[in-house]
Amino acid sequence: MRMHRLMVLGFLLAACLAIDAAAQVEAGKAKAKDKGRMQSASTTVLTDPLESAETVAKLKLTTAQKPAVDKLLKEFDAKLKELVAKTPVEKAPAPSKFAKFKSKGKGDGAGTNSAAIGPAIELRDEYGEKFVALLTEPQKKILDDIHLKMGEALLLGGNKK
């Protein structure tokens, strides 16, 4: 009887360890996915337009608004490109003699432009305010709804659009 209890206890312990290992694997996958999202978010701040063409189309701009909005969006794109171009690219550290012991992708000499992220966000805020100032109240409501849905989609990981 005692041996039977020990065997049951052993099986339960093995099952708990298997469940814990599976949870750790899933947590690792989620962490890697979040890291990729953060990296892509920083690059989109430096490359994406102020508002997408789809968003602008949903606003149904008047003929009087279209030239002003087009001018503002082109001006933003030019200033963003200028900002990114004049910000020095930070080089990753050169591989050391112990590089073979490190994980792949680290110390490969690839550069980043993280110094431009803060100024790019400020530029987006400035031009975002100018963009909203050109809109009517109903258009502002539509824009807020679009941004809310985009934010929800980002928070939910793209599962809801």
Q: For residue 144, what pLDDT band results from cuts at 50, 70 and 90?
A: very high
Residues 33 and 70 in one domain: no
Q: Are residues 92 and 135 in the same domain?
A: yes
Q: 36: part of which helix (H) or strand (E)?
A: helix 2-47
**The predicted structure's pLDDT at residue 105:** 47
42 domain-assigned: no
Q: Would you say residue 114 lies in a domain? A: yes
71 in any annotated domain: yes
Q: Distance from CA of residue 35 to its chain's centroid?
A: 9
Range of the domain at 28: 1-37
Residues 28 and 64 in one domain: no
Query: Looking at the structure, do residues 70 and 147 belong to the same domain, yes or no?
Result: yes
123: phi then psi, degrees, rounded to nearest 5:
-65, -45
Rounded Cα distance between 92 and 89, Å, is 10
Instruction: Give residue-wise pLDDT tens across range 3-61.
Output: 667 666 666 666 666 676 666 766 666 555 554 444 445 457 888 898 999 999 999 99
Radius of gyration of the chain (CA): 25
Query: Sorting pLDDT into bands at 50, 70 and 90, what band is 87?
Result: confident
Residue 43 lies in a domain: no
Same domain (yes/no): 84, 131: yes
Q: What is the pTM of this model?
A: 0.58
The DSSP element (H or E) to which 131 belongs, if any, is helix 117-133
Q: Say if residue 24 is in the same domain as residue 58.
A: no
Asked whether residue 161 is assigned to any structural domain, the reply reads: no
Burial (Cβ within 10 Å: 0-12, 13-18, ≥19) of residue 85: exposed
**Domain identity same for 151 and 77:** yes
**Is residue 101 in some structural domain?**
yes
Indicate whether 53 and 22 sit together in one domain.
no
Nearest-angstrom CA–CA distance, 123 and 79: 8
10 and 57: one domain? no
Q: Which residue has the tokens 């992220």?
A: 117
